[in-house]
Amino acid sequence: MGRLRFLVLHTALWLFASGVARAQTAPQAPVAVEAPVVLSHVDAVYPPAALPEQKHADVVLLVTVDVDGHVSKIDVATSGGDLLDQAAIIATRQWTFVPAKRGGVPVASRIRIPFHFAPPAPPPELVEPPPSPEPALDAQAAVPAAQSAPVAPTAPTAPNAAAPAAPIEIDVIGQATPPTHGPSDFRVKVGQLAVVPRQNASELLKLAPGILLTNEGGEGHAEQVFLRGFDAREGQDIEFTVGGVPINESGNLHGNGYADTHFIIPEFVEGFRVIEGPFDPRQGNYAVAGSADYELGLERRGMFAKYTNGSFGTHRLLLGWGPKNESAHTFGGAEIYQTDGYGQNRDAQRASAMAQYEGRLGERGSYRVTSQAYTTHFHSAGLIRDDDFRAGRIGFYDSYDHSSFAREQIPEGGDSSRYSLAATFETHADDTTLNQQIFLIRRDMRLLENFTGFLLDVQEPLQSVHAQRGDMLDLNVRELTLGARGSARFTGSLFGKKQELELGYFARGDQVSSGQQRLEANTGVPYKTDTDLDSTLGEVGLYADANVRPLSWVTLRGGVRAELLTYDVLDNCAAQSVSHPSATNPPIDQSCLTQQNFGRPREADQRDSTSSVALLPRASLMLGPAGGFSFLASYGRGMRSVDPGYITQDVKTPFASIAAYEGGVLYSLTSDRVALVARSVFFQTHVDKDLIFNESEGRNVLGAGTTRTGWLGAARATGSFFDESFNLTLVRSSYDDTHLLVAYVPAVVLRSDTALFSNLPLAFLDKRVRGTVGAGVTYVGPRPLPYGERSQDLFTVDASASLAWHYFELGLSATNLFNRRYRLGEYNFASDFHSQPQPTLVPERMFSAGPPRAVFATLGVYLGGV
């Protein structure tokens, strides 16, 4: 054991010194780190060109093993000369592994492989593998099985081989990651499942259980996320971050916490962490249904260009690069995308650029600087009434905006942009890891949506006589966010075990200008101002998270989080009605009025400010692992801040309070051929003030208390030629008072992602052809709708196939492979699109059409990587 302690210490020190990869606070059991295991290897050949020198030399390679077990990046740590370096690299590139795992989940890893080269005569000298080490201390690290060194060949022209020596250091790539908090803490590496067709980064979330994405707002509109019984709308109930930088937009009028992830280029997503519930003290505002943190990275080194052309006039050009001698977290790239869209009024154009640099900070630290720019202009078909579709008044993929009876001068759609800059610093000193991040985000958004047609513009006494002018909402948000987060993690020893305590904070300030007007259908001119807010919002959260192991098989994690939120809101349209207007000076047709009853004057604007504090305990208990099984249980309280529009002077902010419980079992199995992780979790979540969709407001508004109870099962199996992820979630969401179901949230969500990959028995110019196929299957059961109705179920299959040879890769993908006509979103509410002789005022089924089959071809060229 003492030897192993030295080994681990040595490994950590070596990694810091090398600066190749970020040092990693070793996770605690049962979230053990398992090193990659060699499945197949190819011997290094002593290069003939080096024979004249007859030299003995050591070459040490730093090798990145992908989540699929393949080698993606090789750096030379110790050079034996160009020829020997290349010989070692050529051999190592053909090795395959059972990938490393963290908490049983396959992850990319960085290992060190030393080679010793000896000339062919006398026979080559081999580096003997060391004795197999004892089980890793606290399962923190282990050595890979690469020490089973091959016997060197003796052929005269390819005479010599070298083999790896042990110990082989392992470092799981990425910033210091917090320990797992409960059975619903999913850390997902995309890996080979990247081949499954996905339209954007949001769709990667489907790899976590219970997630359904819909979108009635167009390609530049954030996806509506349903997670484990929650209608999280466009992220209002999920804390979204990318590399720790918040995505949720505080004060966004469309939804407080609106989170648009379209700026993330999917190819630059290395993985993500989804926690389905508020169980980690690091989770802050909006973590009601849970949280999702994207980790950016690019495993494949070199430069690449990808061009995609496909159905509906879709074109996408992506350029990317990952400098050869930098870490996987150093990359850059940009995409330009345009599509005519399926059906009517779904065209979109967007461009996005992302870059990140990871470098050393002194001897034991590192930093990352991340920048990002994104802009888009898009249109949206909106919703369709089911009775109009059934009567043939409108087509399945049509839009009212283009119809003869409800044409809009300015159709639905919008504009969106996001620019951000972030820097993260991490240093390590003895028993403490310090992390500090700062970020600056600029965000603009315009959304044009009409859910109700011509319903809401009723004749008011202070208006000139008018017919219904249309309910087109023109929503604008301009937001500047400045913030920081930091933490210090102390590691000590107690009960003979390693214990940890992390203290941290999160702070952000937001300046938000948001307004909503209604546009006249015939002219596109605003005729009414609904809302005009200027908000200054502040949020500071503190947390303490302990990681205590009183026994080797008992781990208790958790702590408490305290949140303070402040609001200073200037409502520029505070007065919108006058019961008894002045008879001599009525403010005809004005929406932000300047008089009260009986003509008493007042200004149209009004400021309100308030604040509130929330205290949120969270804890997780883990027992095991034993025989591959771990038993986990968690409790946590979460909160959701409210829309600034609800603020009243000095009235404590009506936080929504969330209490979540769950318990489950996790099973992990690793063999030479397959790595399997499976889990079964029962959960219950209670929200005291839930958000309920209001079509008149075009967003969710505060409603009654709700409770969700359910079960999820998830499994991921990874082997040398396949990667399969499967999850199923069953949940019942009901109101506390009436016990009626919560509308719109699916009770059954099933998702499967499959990737198969292998080198094919084909070779051209001595280069093997590699084939990959992928498939994604989604099933969502009928969703409850208002008025006792249920939506249609949803079943789609997406598939892809690709061939890679040398520098080139050719892919073909199809979404909705069976061209099933389906309704992505369904609602029941009143609307009137002038499709019938008289207004339609009674709730009716509305739906957004899911995309028909689309086929895309992609050509990629990859240069300069190893």
Partner 1 sequence: MRIAPTPKSLTLLLLLVPLGCAGTTGDRLRDFPAAASGPGDLTSPLTFTTDLGWHVILSEAKLHVGAFYLDQSRPVSGAQDINCVLPGTYVAQETSGLDVDLLSAAPQYFPAPAHGSSLPAIVGQVWLTGGAIDDTSNATKILVVAGTAEQNGTIVPFLAQLTIGTNFAASGALAGAQSICKERIVSPIPSALTVEQTGGLLLSVDPRRLFVNVDFSELDMTTSAPFLFSNDPTSSDFTQPSRNLFDNLRSVGPYTFSWSGNL
The residues binding partner 1 (CB under 8 A) are: 387, 458-468, 586, 588, 627-628, 667, 669, 678, 680, 709-711, 713, 730-732, 734, 738-743, 747-748, 781-782, 784-789, 828, 830, 836-845
Cβ pair 285, 639 in contact under 8 A:
yes
Distances (CA, A) of 392 to 388, 552, 714, 843: 6, 68, 42, 19
- Using the minimum distance from each CB to partner 1, give the nearer residue, 536 or 734: 734
- Using the minimum distance from each CB to partner 1, give the nearer residue, 583 or 765: 583
Q: At its nearest, how many Å lie between partner 1 and the CB of residue 40?
A: 23
Q: At its nearest, how many Å lie between partner 1 and the CB of residue 587?
A: 11
- Using the minimum distance from each CB to partner 1, give the nearer residue, 484 or 692: 692
- Using the minimum distance from each CB to partner 1, give the nearer residue, 705 or 771: 705
Q: What is the bridge-based pairing of β-strands 238-242 and 290-296?
A: parallel
CA distance 282 to 487: 10
- Using the minimum distance from each CB to partner 1, give the nearer residue, 170 or 731: 731
- Using the minimum distance from each CB to partner 1, give the nearer residue, 663 or 782: 782
Distances (CA, A) of 456 to 400, 452, 459, 528: 17, 8, 9, 11
- Using the minimum distance from each CB to partner 1, give the nearer residue, 682 or 807: 682
Q: At its nearest, how many Å lie between partner 1 and the CB of residue 851?
A: 26
Cβ pair 488, 433 in contact under 8 A:
yes
Run of H or E residues at 392: none
Q: At its nearest, how many Å lie between partner 1 and the CB of residue 120?
A: 45
Dihedral, 138, 139, 140, 143 alpha carbons, nearest 10:
130
Q: At its nearest, how many Å lie between partner 1 and the CB of residue 734?
A: 7
- Using the minimum distance from each CB to partner 1, give the nearer residue, 404 or 838: 838
Q: At its nearest, how many Å lie between partner 1 and the CB of residue 680?
A: 8
User: Of 693, 612, 568, which Cα lies nearest the Cα of 254?
Assistant: 693
CA distance 69 to 809: 20
Q: At its nearest, how many Å lie between partner 1 and the CB of residue 748?
A: 6
- Using the minimum distance from each CB to partner 1, give the nearer residue, 730 or 775: 730
User: Of 92, 88, 90, 91, which Cα lies nearest the Cα of 115?
Assistant: 88
Q: What is the bridge-based pairing of β-strands 170-172 and 211-214?
A: unpaired
- Using the minimum distance from each CB to partner 1, give the nearer residue, 362 or 788: 788
For the residues of 441-459, what is the DSSP string, one character each?
Answer: EEEEEEEEE-SSBS-S-PP
Q: How many CB atoms lie within 10 A of CB 343?
A: 18
Tokens of 333: 């790239």
Q: At its nearest, how many Å lie between partner 1 and the CB of residue 202?
A: 24
Q: At its nearest, how many Å lie between partner 1 and the CB of residue 704?
A: 13
**Amino acid, res. 638:** G
Q: At its nearest, how many Å lie between partner 1 and the CB of residue 631?
A: 14
- Using the minimum distance from each CB to partner 1, give the nearer residue, 119 or 710: 710
For the residues of 154-203, what is the DSSP string, one character each?
Answer: --SSS-------S---EEESSS--PPP-STTEEEEE-GGGGGS--SSGGG
CA distance 745 to 233: 10
Site of tokens 């099984």: 629
Q: At its nearest, how many Å lie between partner 1 and the CB of residue 670?
A: 10
Run of H or E residues at 108: none
**Amino acid, res. 482:** L
Dihedral, 526, 531, 532, 536 alpha carbons, nearest 10:
-150
